[in-house]
A and B are shown apart, each in its own frame.
Chain A
Amino acid sequence: MRYAIAFGRFWYGFIVGDDWTVALGVVVALGLTALLAHDDVTAWWLLPLAVVVLLESSLWRARRRK
């Protein structure tokens, strides 16, 4: 059990890291992109824009914590 928890923590730290809002934002952005693409709306711009917003907001939070 101890190893399973440690393994889970390793993967959480590896994929999600110390700002979980980025991972959540990625899921939301991918979902919105899929919805737009499903309705035949041009959606290629959405994910790069979301990446910039997520990155800058995460940097802003990190800067405020220091």
Chain B
Amino acid sequence: MRVEILFLAAFLACAVEMLEALTIVLAVGLTRGWRSTLVGVGAALLALAAVVASLGPALTVLPLNALRLVVGGLLLAFGLQWLRKAILRAGGFLSLRDESAAYAREREQALQAAPERRAGVDWYSFTLSFKGVFLEGLEVAFIVISFGADGRHGVVTAAAAAAAALVIVAVTGVLARAPLSRVPENTLKFAVGLLLTSFGTFWGAEGAGVSWPGGDVAILGILAFLLLVSVGSVSLLRRQPGPARTGGATAGGS
């Protein structure tokens, strides 16, 4: 059960980050050509593979409890950020992320940027696609590596989930040749925030020396508890006039 939830958490988190990277790559590739854009994507993927290959095995040699304490703390801080933004979005206090609007913005900028060729590569396309894939991918790499807190199989499970998400998002994007705006991205972010916060709570407490009642099953209890609290928070926020419902909010990041 724990492996399945871990896979689901890594898959959803990676899919969300890859959706955002896909929007940038599609906007640049369709506007300025694919060669330099794909060179940028390839370079970013190589850099990310190097980060995971060097840090992943290094983390697995650390004492498991110390690793869980540190990773649990990081996942908690990171997951709570996602959850907080997702609740504010669902409650109408932040505007929802719109991939179509993001795509239109990136496309407009790509059209207006002057051509700058170095070594046969359009530098604008290369830089933008490299930055988009590398920065979104770093978040994926962080999640994959941090799931090493579940032992060596944790990294393997998370890496498999990330690979599956990459293939599905990339293939769908290539087939659609448009941003995947119909994917319920904000709902996915809500789920990812809940899952990351649940794992952060579980591992952080275990790393601090706590034994959970029920062992691994406690993850489901934490998840259900946080779901109730989050849904309650959204419901409370919706009862108040929020700026996103009155047109005053700005879109946030992940």
Pairing of A with B: yes
Chain B 201-245 per-residue mask, 1 if CB under 8 angstroms from chain A, else 0: 100110111111100001000100110011001000100101100
B38 located at the interface, meaning its Cβ lies under 8 Å from any Cβ of chain A in the complex = no
CB distance from B149 to the nearest CB of A (A): 13
- Using a CB-CB cutoff of 8 Å, which residues 3-44 of chain A contact chain B? 10, 13-19, 22-23, 26-27, 30, 33-34, 37-38, 43-44
Question: Per DSSP, are chain B's interface residues mostly helix, strand or loop, or mixed?
Answer: helix
| B209 partner, pick from A19, A34, A54, A59, beta carbons under 8 A | A34
Contacts A22-B77, A48-B222 given; indicate if A30 touches B72 (C-beta within 8 A): yes
Asked if A1 CB lies within 8 Å of chain B CBs, one says no
Neighbouring B residues of A30 by C-beta, 8 Å: 69, 72-73, 76, 204, 207-208
Minimal beta-carbon separation of B226 from chain A (angstroms): 7
**In this assembly, does B44 line the interface, its C-beta being within 8 Å of a C-beta of chain A?**
no
The count of residues in chain B whose C-beta lies closer than 8 Å to any C-beta of chain A is 43
A17 to B205: give the CA distance in the assembly, Å.
Answer: 22
Whose C-beta in chain B lies nearest to the C-beta of A16?
A: B77
Q: In B72-122, which residues have CB < 8 Å from any A CB?
A: 72-74, 76-78, 80-81, 83-84, 87-88, 93
Q: Identify the closest chain B residue to A7 (Cβ).
A: B138
User: Are B87 and A38 in touch, CB under 8 angstroms?
Assistant: no
Contact present for A62 and B78 (CB under 8 Å): no
Q: Give the residues in chain B near A37, CB-CB below 8 Å.
A: 208-210
Could you tell me how many residues of chain A have their Cβ less than 8 Å away from some Cβ of chain B?
Answer: 32
Tell whether, in the assembled complex, residue A43 and residue B201 are in contact, meaning their CB atoms are under 8 Å apart.
no
Central interface residue in B69, B72, B78, B138, by most chain A CB within 10 Å: B78
B63 within 8 A of A: no
Question: Given the complex, which residues of A lie within 8 Å of B242, measured CB to CB?
Answer: 66
CB distance from A3 to the nearest CB of B (A): 12
B84:A26 contact, CB within 8 angstroms? no
User: B46-84 toward A: CB 8 Å interface, digit per residue (1/0)?
Assistant: 000000000000000000000001001110111011011
Distance in angstroms from A7 CB to nearest chain B CB is: 10
Contacts of A47 in B (CB 8 A): 201, 204-205, 208, 210
Most buried by A among B77, B229, B249: B77
Q: How far is the CA of A13 from the CA of B72 in the complex (A)?
A: 18
Query: By the criterion CB–CB under 8 Å, are A22 and B81 in contact?
Result: yes
Q: Which A residues fall within an 8 A CB radius of B?
A: 10, 13-19, 22-23, 26-27, 30, 33-34, 37-38, 43-44, 46-48, 51-52, 54-56, 58-59, 62-63, 66
18 A-B residue contacts at CB 8 Å?
A13-B253, A14-B138, A15-B74, A27-B73, A30-B73, A34-B209, A37-B208, A44-B210, A44-B211, A51-B80, A51-B197, A54-B80, A55-B80, A55-B84, A56-B229, A59-B237, A62-B84, A66-B249
